Amino acid sequence: MNLKDTIRTIPDFPKPGIMYRDITTLLTNRRAFAQTIIDMSAPYQTKDIDNVAGIEARGFTVGGAIAYELGAGFVPIRKAGKLPFDTYAQDYDLEYGSDTLEIHADSIRKGERVLLVDDLIATGGTAEASIKLLLKAGAEIVGAAFIVDLPDLGGLARITKMGIPVTALVTYDGH
């Protein structure tokens, strides 16, 4: 099936000029959701992934399922102030704002092999901040997997330049 057909576009959300790629319509389509999890996991089935790191909030929707599919654990990367124990924090900019992400300082043992996942990569600001957090926590980052890439915003190229393999299942030209 064509996953792109199951994603909805909302113009001018959350700000004028943004074409918001809404994956909730993919998530409620059971065949599309299953295919998404299988396709995002496939390149990593033989890569001995210890933990999948998912980015709040939409990264959680695929992160737990991919972790299960790979027989790995799950590490949440959360917006500031949500994690209860000692954290590392990182500020970042994204397509329509700026924010702070955190990870539990003890969530990863040094050298653990981690796959980063999120629903969408645009500027790559969120992914880069997450990578910095994972490196602070001691991870070896094996790759980063997304459902959607917006290539005109340069995120995939930005993360690839950091030496991390990146995959995306659906691409939208423009933004």
Ligand X SMILES: Nc1ncnc2[nH]cnc12
Ligand Y SMILES: O=P(O)(O)OC[C@H]1O[C@H](OP(=O)(O)OP(=O)(O)O)[C@H](O)[C@@H]1O
* Active site residues per annotation: 58, 95
Cα distances (angstroms) measured from residue 147 to each of 49, 63, 71, 116, 167? 19, 11, 20, 12, 8
When CB distances are held under 5 to 8 angstroms depending on the partner's kind, the choice from ligand X, ligand Y, none that residue 55 binds is ligand Y
**Cβ 22 to ligand X shortest distance, Å:** 7
Does position 117 interact with ligand X (CB under 6 A)? The reply is: no
**Cβ 55 to ligand X shortest distance, Å:** 11
Does position 19 interact with ligand Y (CB under 6 A)? The reply is: no
Which amino acid does the sequence have at 15? K
Tell me how far apart the 2 most distant CA atoms of the chain are, in Å: 43
The CA angle 115-106-111, to the nearest 5 degrees, is 50
**Cβ 155 to ligand X shortest distance, Å:** 9
Does position 18 interact with ligand X (CB under 6 A)? The reply is: yes
Size, binding site for ligand X by CB under 6 A = 9
21-80 residues near ligand X, rule: CB under 6 A: 21
Residue carrying structure tokens 């092999």? 113
SS3 category, 170: strand
Q: By the criterion CB under 6 A, which residues form the site for ligand Y?
A: 55-58, 94-95, 118-127, 155
